[in-house]
């Protein structure tokens, strides 16, 4: 039988003369071109994201801190909507917010936003406020549910304004809320103790277009967006909400999806049953009652001046200094936003129509937000309602876009008016409105009809929402001009 004896048993071993050390893994990676390509791609990706979408601003803000809240001067409050249609009169002309946009409401039929009250005994107020604060979707009455906001029924494209001076906290597509703007209001009277200041957050949801960016300083009454119907909305309206500073997120909602699954409620059932109403009243305030209160500013006095017996004068000087600082800081941003508002306002609106131009055969005004009404065309019945023809004749329309679309939502398409030589017509003469339709594929257009008033220096931008993930070709009538194909890209 053979026995195996180890070297250790025999009393000797082996030691290498030169210890071999394996190189680090990075040594092998550095020899491969693909590794460096990956590194460069990562750097390019980070740099691109920092340059776009205010990346550097957000980065430095996270490093250096938030904007100085002392720049924000409370000067009172205004309602988020200035004018709404007189629904009772508008309805007699066949108008309603489901079928028509804000620009289609005759100017003579616009009225100030009705006063909000807990009872809503006024007929106009009942038509405008579809769901009251802490209301339900069933009755809409206050304290009948746990809806932490007030839903204001307005046509798509209604101007939305900031209720008070503040700093834009977020501009986002929020789940359920659609396009949303959140504004932080420091140094604002506390609704529980108006003689003291606090921080509140105003929220504006279901918007169609936004004109502000995070970090922007806005003043009371400044236009920040256009109303819409984005997110989970059964009808066009503005979801207006005011959160307290201790709310865990904005816009605050009194329950989570996990809590709904635990109790077996749908979101609508939970609101109607008043699920977690206590949270809603704890983290939010009645938004319309607060802005209508228009509390007086809280006097802020420089402590160094109190001993001099001139606290009132010191407070006045400080307020004037703050106002001057605010005005100088926001002037440039406001000019940029106004320019942006003019260039994209056509994305969410259609040309205005006079009272006589709306067909009287339209359905009556839908009172419940759950009612779905199909969009129809406005019938122009009088030639004098059209803009008078003047300027250079338009013989063609050029339709341009980036060539593709994804599942991300609305695409922007530019229309350019051309004369017989192919030059841009800056002072166009249009005898008929331009109607957009899909000659191949299908899509929604906002607006789907444009008049001469919609063009600025011969150009206008519209929103296009392609359907069915098919190639889309857009046609402008009555010219018959067609765009290049817009292809779907995953």
DSSP string, 171-227: EEEETTTEEEEEEEEEEEE-SS-TTSEEEEEEEEEEEEEE---TT-EE-TT-EEEEE
32 pLDDT band (50/70/90 cuts)?
low
What is the arithmetic mean of pLDDT over 35-58?
Answer: 63
Distance of CA 317 to the CA centre of its chain: 37
What is the arithmetic mean of pLDDT over 132-160?
Answer: 95
Q: Is the pLDDT of residue 177 over 80?
A: yes
Q: What is the CA radius of gyration of the chain?
A: 30
User: CB neighbours (10 Å) of residue 178?
Assistant: 19
pLDDT the model gives residue 19: 62
Of 159-173, 237-251, 287-301, 356-370, the one with minimum mean pLDDT is 356-370
The better pLDDT of the pair 441, 413 is held by: 413
pLDDT the model gives residue 378: 35
Long-range contacts (CB closer than 8 Å, 24 or more residues apart) made by 326-331: 326/71, 326/72, 326/73, 326/165, 326/217, 326/219, 329/71, 329/217, 330/216, 330/217, 330/218, 330/219
The better pLDDT of the pair 279, 429 is held by: 279
Q: Is the pLDDT of residue 200 over 90?
A: yes
What are the CA-CA distances from residue 64 to residues 49, 51, 61, 182 (Å)? 19, 18, 5, 21
Residue 190 contacts residue 257 (beta carbons within 8 Å): no
Helix (H) or strand (E) holding 262: helix 257-263
Residue 415 contacts residue 398 (beta carbons within 8 Å): yes
Query: pLDDT digits over 228-237, tens only?
Result: 999 999 899 9
- What residues contact 287, with CB distance under 8 A and at least 6 apart? 133, 149, 150, 202, 240, 241, 242
383 pLDDT band (50/70/90 cuts)?
very low
36 pLDDT band (50/70/90 cuts)?
confident
Would you say how long the chain is, in residues? Answer: 490
**Which residues share a beta bridge with 203?**
182, 241
pLDDT the model gives residue 469: 78
Domain boundaries 387-488, CATH class: mainly beta
Residue 403 contacts residue 412 (beta carbons within 8 Å): no
CATH superfamily of 83-345: Glucose Permease (Domain IIA) (2.70.70.10)
Query: pLDDT digits over 446-464, tens only?
Result: 888 888 888 888 899 988 8
- What residues contact 476, with CB distance under 8 A and at least 6 apart? 397, 399, 415, 434, 435, 436, 482
Query: pLDDT digits over 81-108, tens only?
Result: 999 999 999 999 899 998 999 999 999 9
The better pLDDT of the pair 48, 341 is held by: 48
The better pLDDT of the pair 142, 298 is held by: 142
pLDDT the model gives residue 311: 45
Where are the domains positioned within the chain? 83-345, 387-488
9 pLDDT band (50/70/90 cuts)?
low
Average pLDDT, the chain: 78
User: CB neighbours (10 Å) of residue 41?
Assistant: 10
The better pLDDT of the pair 152, 348 is held by: 152
- The encoded tokens of residue 176 equal 């359920």
343 pLDDT band (50/70/90 cuts)?
low
Q: Is the pLDDT of residue 287 over 90?
A: yes
pLDDT the model gives residue 239: 97
Query: pLDDT digits over 214-262, tens only?
Result: 999 999 999 999 999 999 998 999 999 999 999 999 999 999 999 999 9
- The encoded tokens of residue 62 equal 């996270």
49 pLDDT band (50/70/90 cuts)?
low
pLDDT the model gives residue 115: 93
């Amino acid at each position: 039988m053979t026995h195996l004896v180890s070297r250790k048993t025999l009393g000797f071993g082996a030691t290498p003369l030169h210890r071999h050390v394996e190189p680090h893994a990075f040594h092998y990676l550095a020899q491969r071109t693909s590794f460096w390509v990956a590194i460069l791609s990562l750097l390019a990706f980070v740099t691109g994201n920092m340059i776009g979408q205010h990346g550097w601003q957000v980065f430095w803000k996270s490093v250096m801190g938030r904007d100085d809240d002392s720049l924000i001067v409370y000067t009172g409050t205004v309602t988020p909507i200035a004018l709404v249609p007189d629904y009772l009169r508008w309805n007699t002309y066949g108008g309603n917010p489901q079928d028509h946009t804000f620009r289609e409401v005759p100017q003579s039929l616009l009225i100030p936003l009705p006063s909000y009250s807990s009872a809503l005994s006024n007929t106009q107020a009942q038509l405008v406020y579809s769901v009251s604060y802490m209301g339900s979707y069933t009755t809409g009455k206050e304290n009948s549910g746990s809806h932490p906001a007030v839903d204001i029924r307005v046509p798509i494209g209604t101007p939305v304004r900031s209720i008070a001076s503040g700093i834009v906290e977020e501009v986002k597509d929020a789940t359920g809320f659609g396009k949303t703007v959140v504004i932080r209001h420091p140094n604002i009277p506390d609704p529980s103790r108006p003689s003291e200041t606090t921080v509140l957050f105003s929220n504006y949801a279901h918007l169609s277009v936004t004109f502000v960016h995070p970090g922007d300083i806005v003043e009371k009454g400044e236009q920040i967006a256009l109303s819409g119907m984005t997110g989970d909305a059964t009808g066009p309206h503005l979801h207006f909400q005011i959160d307290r500073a201790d709310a865990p997120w904005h816009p605050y909602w009194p329950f989570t999806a996990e809590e709904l699954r635990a109790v077996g409620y749908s979101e609508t059932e939970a609101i109607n049953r008043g699920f977690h109403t206590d949270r809603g009243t704890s983290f939010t305030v009645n938004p319309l009652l607060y802005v209508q209160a228009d509390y007086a500013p809280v006097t802020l006095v420089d402590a160094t001046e109190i001993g001099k017996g001139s606290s009132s004068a010191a407070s006045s000087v400080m307020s004037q200094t703050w106002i001057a600082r605010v005005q100088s800081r926001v002037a440039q941003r406001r000019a940029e936003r106004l320019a942006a508002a003019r260039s994209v306002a056509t994305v969410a609106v259609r040309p205005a129509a006079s009272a006589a131009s709306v067909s009287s055969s339209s359905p009556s005004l839908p009172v419940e937000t759950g009612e779905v009404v199909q969009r129809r065309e406005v019938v122009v019945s009088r030639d004098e309602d059209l803009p008078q023809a003047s300027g250079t004749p338009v013989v063609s329309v050029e339709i341009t876009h980036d060539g593709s679309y994804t599942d991300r939502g609305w695409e922007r398409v530019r229309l350019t008016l051309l004369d017989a030589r192919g030059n841009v017509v800056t002072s166009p003469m249009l005898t008929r409105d331009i109607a957009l339709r899909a000659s191949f594929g299908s899509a929604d257009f906002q607006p789907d009809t444009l008049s001469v008033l919609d063009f600025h220096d011969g150009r206008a931008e519209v929103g296009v929402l392609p359907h069915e993930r098919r190639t889309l070709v857009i046609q402008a009538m009555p010219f018959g001009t067609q765009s290049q194909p817009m292809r779907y890209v995953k």
